Amino acid sequence: MVEHRPFLKLFAHLVLILGVVIVAFPVYVAFIASTHKTTDFITGVMPVLPGSDFFSTYKTVIFNGVASSGAPPIGLMLGNSLIMALAISLGKIAISILSAYAIVYFRFPFRQLAFWIIFVTLMLPVEVRIVPTFKVVADLGMLNSYAGLSIPLIASATATFLFRQFFLTVPDELLEAARVDGAGPLKFFKDILLPLSRTNIAALFVILFIYGWNQYLWPLIVTTDSAHYTIVMGIKRMSDVTDAEPQWNLVMAVAILAMLPPVLVVIFMQRLFVKGLVETEK
């Protein structure tokens, strides 16, 4: 596959550049929009060069909030999103690594059935089961709470499956050596399996954090109290104003800020992330 023909090289680069442009352009537009005054958009023509209001827009968004849209200050929403995303990703990892451990290392009746039941839930994403889930959460009195935001999203077949696949590649002799060395089931899990899964956990954390951060439909449904709004649904609320032009510059500034935490997570965990997906350390 590695051929050194200038035309192919050029072509490959063009395709890649085109891809980057398609992905990056909306982000660029959002950023440009956040540096202009609200009035600049009334003409209906988007400016393509940065304006002069970068600092004032971001100052308004971060310190004053956007009072007119009925949304809480952005700091609170970012905090809510962070709590939800962390709870979802850490909860998913904790539950799925334990269930994968049980499925792979313990012989109990209906083990395969248990695995398949977990696996089948892959076919039921949040959107499909949203009405019954809402009913359950409402009956348990978890509306407008962090628990209500995160717990229903924690059960995860994908993560369980990934950990199961990883555990199956760990040689049996390792377990046997640990047994001879006097390590019980919990010790084996804590001292050997968990450290070996480190890179897998990191990779999953990145994926799940972004998944949790980007939740839109579920927070929209379970929160009516603005103290529990998350940033992603907050953006939607801001652009939803009656009898007035939405303040696009502020909305876009919030969107840019909402993008930052996942980007930071990816950047700082990139090394582990790639390692976890590519290599298995044995």
Partner 1 sequence: MAAIDIKGVGKTYVGNVNAVSDISIAIADGEFIVLVGPSGCGKSTLLRMVAGLETITDGTVSIDGRVVNQIEPAERDIAMVFQNYALYPHMSVYDNLAYGLKNRGTPKAEIDARVAEAARMLELQPYLERKPRALSGGQRQRVAMGRAIVRKPAAFLFDEPLSNLDAKLRVTMRGEIKQLQKRLGTTSIYVTHDQLEAMTLADRLVVLNGGRIEQIGAPLEVYHRPASTFVASFIGSPAMNLVKASVTGGEISVGDVETGLRAGLPNGLVIVGLRAEDLRLSDSGAGLPFNVAFVEDLGAQRLLHGYCGEQSVVVAVSPDLPLPEEIRLTIASDRLHFFAADTGKRIEPASV
Distance CA 149, CA 194 (A): 28
Q: Which of 24, 22, 15 is nearest to 263 (CA)?
A: 24
The CA radius of gyration of the chain, in Å to the nearest whole number, is 24
Distance CA 116, CA 252 (A): 44
> Residues 6 or more apart from 158 whose CB is under 8 A from it?
96, 122
Amino acid type, 270: Q
Nearer to partner 1, 153 or 178 (CB): 178
Nearer to partner 1, 23 or 180 (CB): 180
Distance CA 277, CA 203 (A): 7
Distance CA 49, CA 56 (A): 17
Amino acid type, 233: M
Taking the complex as a whole, how short is the minimal distance between the CB of residue 267 and partner 1, in angstroms? 25
Q: Decide if 249 contacts 53 (C-beta within 8 A).
A: yes
Nearer to partner 1, 70 or 184 (CB): 184
Q: Which residues bind partner 1 (CB under 8 A)?
A: 171, 173-174, 176-183, 187, 191-192, 195-196, 198, 281-282
Taking the complex as a whole, how short is the minimal distance between the CB of residue 53 and partner 1, in angstroms? 52
Taking the complex as a whole, how short is the minimal distance between the CB of residue 188 and partner 1, in angstroms? 10
What is the DSSP code (8-state) at residue 154? Answer: T
Nearer to partner 1, 4 or 282 (CB): 282
Taking the complex as a whole, how short is the minimal distance between the CB of residue 282 and partner 1, in angstroms? 6
CB atoms within 10 A of CB 189: 17
> Taking phi first (over 0 means left), then psi (-120 to 50 degrees means alpha), and beta for anything else, what does residue 110 get?
left
Nearer to partner 1, 193 or 204 (CB): 193
Nearer to partner 1, 59 or 190 (CB): 190
Q: Which of 260, 244, 253 is nearest to 56 (CA)?
A: 253
Taking the complex as a whole, how short is the minimal distance between the CB of residue 183 and partner 1, in angstroms? 6
Taking the complex as a whole, how short is the minimal distance between the CB of residue 264 and partner 1, in angstroms? 27
Nearer to partner 1, 167 or 229 (CB): 167
Taking the complex as a whole, how short is the minimal distance between the CB of residue 171 and partner 1, in angstroms? 6
